[in-house]
Amino acid sequence: MNGGDILSLITVFVLSAFVGFEVIAKVPSTLHTPLMSGTNAIHGVVLVGAMLVLGTASGTAQMALGFVAVVLATLNVVGGFVVTDRMLEMFKVRKPAKVSAESASAVAPSTEGGPK
Amino acid sequence: MSLGTGIRLADLIAAICFILALRGLTGPKTARYGNLLGAGGMALAVAITFATNGLTHFLLIVGAMLIGAVIAVPAARLVKMTAMPQMVAAFNGVGGGAAALIALSTFLRAPAGSLAVYQVVEVLLGVVIGCVSFSGSCIAFAKLQEIMTGRAITYPGQQVWNGIVGVAILGLGVTVCVSSFNWLVAIVLVLALAFGVAFVLPVGGADVPVLISLLNSFTGLAVAASGFVLHSVVLVVAGTLVGASGTLLTQMMSRAMGRSLPNILFSAFGSVITATGGAEGDTTRSVRSASAEDVAILLAYANKVIIVPGYGLAVAQAQHTIRELADLLESRGVEVIYAIHPVAGRMPGHMNVLLAEANVPYEQLKEMDEANPEFQSADVALVVGANDVVNPAAKNNPDSPIYGMPILAVDEARNIVFMKRSMRPGFAGIDNELLFDPKTTMLFGDAKDSLTKVVAAVKAL
């Protein structure tokens, strides 16, 4: 918990802001939505804070507050990563034999793609 | 190596993972790997937290995490691809809520007057930004889920009221800092929640996803603030990374729509234009509508077909059917490509996800800049459930509200087929001249029904 004094935290804050701007300087629009979802998952790190709050709580009210915070933060982090992963399935290297999960509108079984 | 050093080292590794994850997410080849790396860093950061000195209530913590996971995994797995945007809004909102609760609880447990001014500022920032993000995301979710109207909601003096609430939050915050009226924090909290709602109400239609991206970066900042409160470096790093990159991403998204961010937030786009669009006499102008068989012939004997998918395709869940049609045409030797407008679907990149779900080969998806030169040599442009993104008014009518928005050059194709449910205008609520163009053929009906009919007709040829 000892991250150092306020000034070193501010240093970390400023440097992180620069890194955040630089690291995504060029993104194809195809990836805007997955990137948004991915960053959404990363701020799920708030779970660490929620754990600290609940883990040091005393008294029912504080514990309830911490408990709710942990539940909410877990929703954020788990949901965030799973949703992002689903979005990114499109970049998976496709195996020819892969059959689509949705069989409702079954596509012709040959999924090799391209004209025969 | 002491336990404390170990934890800080693990936090450093997690922070590096997050940065590399963000970088990975900016390229199609590395995106999945990036997301997994982020999840790995997160797992490490969470696991090491259990080793924190003086941490108790392990069972409660694990129990709460289990509850969260049991809700989140099925929700994220089962949600329809079309409902992704509101899912992101929901997960973003709860993150903001958690950040606000952390700041609040730290404030409540400190004995009155024991906090330095800068500490109170940290708490207030966490509470205010977290609450705005939470309530704002709730409204965004409700709009996209169609629990409430998706259109912009405006009332007289809206910006003035929002300004007053903002100033009130600021004033009360300063009062809390310099006095010991700690109960004022409760009022700040309520006002911040109200501000989040008021902030989102005037944003409507296609602009909501951009707003979600903005709220996403707000949550990042709220998390950073709660990191300051708890002196947690990993929270500050990750929160700030998201705050900064999210802001940049929001700008990129609004640029892809040819609009500025203030314009999206304050101009109440969706509502104003409905008043002027449609209605007047347009029903008397002739449009050429055709049967599925006509369209099938047009497509089957073309050399090159460009498919322009829009939100209507997603709503009708027709992505698998369009794939079937494309396969059928390709087997007849027709060249088929998909032209994807940056904001096709409901968010930038949304349409790619939907088509990938239907196993459309990635190479067939062309982004706008790549696709536009192709239209000149295309025999047919097949527009399925899209409207505004192909409206030439964006190019040649300076009075149009969408003037300046980059569009797909569908009008350059030799033939245009529109699959639409009706003559109703799109999200932006403006008429599309292209629908009345002599080379345009309309096929009215639900996108999936129409496509299924066309597929059957092509098979029968």
Instruction: Check residue A15 and give its pLDDT.
Output: 96
**For chain A, what's the residue count?**
116
pLDDT tens-digit map of A64-84: 999 999 999 999 999 999 999
Check: CB of residue B126 under 8 Å from CB of residue B225: yes
- Tell me which H or E stretch contains B307: strand B304-309
Rounded to 10°, the helix B233-256/B208-230 angle is 170
From the CA atom positions of chain A, what is the Rg in Å? Answer: 21
| pLDDT-flagged residues of chain B (< 70) | 1, 258, 267-286, 424-429
Using an 8 Å CB-CB cutoff, list chain B residues near A115: 330-331, 333
Amino acid identity, position B334: V
Q: How many angstroms separate the CA of residue B66 from the nearest CA in chain A? A: 8
Check: CB of residue B337 under 8 Å from CB of residue B377: no
What single string gives the DSSP state of each residue in B105-145? HHHHHSPTT-S-HHHHHHHHHHHHHHHHHHHHHHHHHHHHT
Q: How many CB atoms lie within 10 A of CB B24?
A: 23
pLDDT tens-digit map of A31-56: 888 899 999 999 999 999 999 999 99
Instruction: Check residue B124 and give its pLDDT.
Output: 95
| Rounded alpha-carbon distances, angstroms, from residue A33 to B387, B394, B422, B460 | 21, 24, 29, 39
A113 touches chain B (CB under 8 A): yes
Q: How many angstroms separate the CA of residue A107 from the nearest CA in chain B? A: 6
A21 touches chain B (CB under 8 A): yes
Instruction: Check residue A71 and give its pLDDT.
Output: 97
Residue of A nearest to B353 (CA): A87
- Interchain contact, B242 vs A42, CB within 8 Å: yes
**ipTM value for the complex:** 0.80
- Interchain contact, A40 vs B91, CB within 8 Å: yes
Instruction: Check residue B155 and give its pLDDT.
Output: 83
Out of B4, B69, B340, closest to residue A2 by CB: B4
- Say how far apart CA A40 and CA B51 lie, in whole Å: 26
DSSP B267: S
Instruction: Check residue A85 and give its pLDDT.
Output: 92
Residue B338 β-bridge partners: B307, B365
- Tell me which H or E stretch contains B269: helix B269-276
- Kindly state the tokens that stand for B261: 């961010």
- Say how far apart CA B452 and CA A105 lie, in whole Å: 10
| Rounded alpha-carbon distances, angstroms, from residue B209 to B140, B212, B249 | 8, 5, 12
pLDDT tens-digit map of B367-387: 888 889 999 999 899 999 888
- Say how far apart CA A65 and CA A55 lie, in whole Å: 11
Instruction: Check residue A109 and give its pLDDT.
Output: 40
* Strand order across the B440-444 sheet: B365-367, B335-340, B304-309, B380-384, B415-420, B440-444
A17 touches chain B (CB under 8 A): yes
B303 touches chain A (CB under 8 A): no
Residue of B nearest to A46 (CA): B223
- Kindly state the tokens that stand for B90: 């929901």
Q: Given the structure tokens 């596509």, which residue do they identify?
A: A107
Q: How many CB pairs under 8 A join A and B?
A: 400
Which residues, in sequence order, are CB contacts of B120 under 8 Å at separation 6+? B107, B176, B177
- Kindly state the tokens that stand for B152: 């912009």
Instruction: Check residue B429 and give its pLDDT.
Output: 63
Residue A3's pLDDT band (boundaries 50, 70, 90)?
very low
- Interchain contact, B249 vs A39, CB within 8 Å: yes
Q: How many angstroms separate the CA of residue A29 from the nearest CA in chain B? A: 6
Residue of A nearest to B349 (CA): A30
A93 touches chain B (CB under 8 A): no
Domains in chain A: boundaries: 28-90
A116 touches chain B (CB under 8 A): yes
Check: CB of residue B300 under 8 Å from CB of residue B461: yes
Out of B50, B109, B246, closest to residue A62 by CB: B109
Show which of residues 31-70 on chain A sit within 8 Å of chain B, judged by CB atoms.
31-57, 61-63, 65-70
Which residues, in sequence order, are CB contacts of B194 under 8 Å at separation 6+? B135, B165
- Interchain contact, A43 vs B219, CB within 8 Å: yes
**Which backbone phi and psi does B307 adopt, to 5 degrees?**
-95, 130
Residue of B nearest to A112 (CA): B361
Amino acid identity, position B306: I
- Say how far apart CA B428 and CA B273 lie, in whole Å: 7
A78 touches chain B (CB under 8 A): yes
Half-sphere exposure of B225 (CA within 13 A, CB side): 33
B106 touches chain A (CB under 8 A): yes
Out of B29, B49, B333, closest to residue A52 by CB: B49
- Kindly state the tokens that stand for B34: 């990036």
- Say how far apart CA A57 and CA A55 lie, in whole Å: 6
B22 touches chain A (CB under 8 A): yes
- Interchain contact, A29 vs B349, CB within 8 Å: yes
Q: Considering the candidates B11, B207, B388, B411, report the single residue annotated as catalytic.
A: B388
| Rounded alpha-carbon distances, angstroms, from residue A91 to A42, B37, B353 | 20, 16, 9
